[in-house]
Amino acid sequence: MKLKLVFLLSSILYVLSFNGCVFTDDLQEKERIATLCQITEHKTTDSKIMGDKIISTTDGHLILFNFDGSIYKEYTDISANWIYTCDSENERLVAVGNFDYEIRIISFSKDYMVS
């Protein structure tokens, strides 16, 4: 009886673990995956859309890119390795974490100045 129960549970787990999975070597052919822009000057680690820019962490600090991949503004004095954005009509807030064990909340103006 225990063997049947173990077999049944493992079979259910196997079926559920592969439910909806698509195995393909070329994910770029899928319509839901698209390249937003090419960043050639920096290696980015975390990126989010904020307003009409892309905010990203690169080389341990914050940087803003235009959608064509060009640099809009660098914030070399803001140490960042992870970001979360809260972009609304009234305010732009960014939560930043870094390898210096700091978590910061940064407020940006509509023209992307730290306020």
Q: C-alpha dihedral over 85, 89, 91, 95, to 10 degrees? A: -10
46-69: b or e for each residue (b if 16 or more CB lie within 10 Å)? bbeebeebbbbbbeebbbbbeeee
pLDDT number for residue 35: 72
pLDDT number for residue 115: 83
Q: Is 26 helix (H, G, I), strand (E, B) or coil?
A: coil
**Pairwise pLDDT comparison (103 vs 18), residue with the higher score:** 103
pLDDT number for residue 76: 93
Digit-coded pLDDT (tens) for 46-99: 889 999 999 999 889 999 999 888 899 999 999 999 999 988 888 899 999 999
26-34: average pLDDT: 63
Please provide the distance, in angstroms rounded to a whole number, between the alpha carbons at the two ends of the chain: 67
Beta strands 103-108 and 92-97: pairing type?
Answer: antiparallel
CA–CA gap between residue 85 and residue 50 (Å, rounded) = 7
pLDDT higher than threshold 80 for residue 24: no
pLDDT number for residue 104: 94
| % of the chain residues with pLDDT over 90 | 40
Domains of the chain, residue spans: 31-115
The partner residues of 55 in beta bridges, in order of sequence, read 48, 64
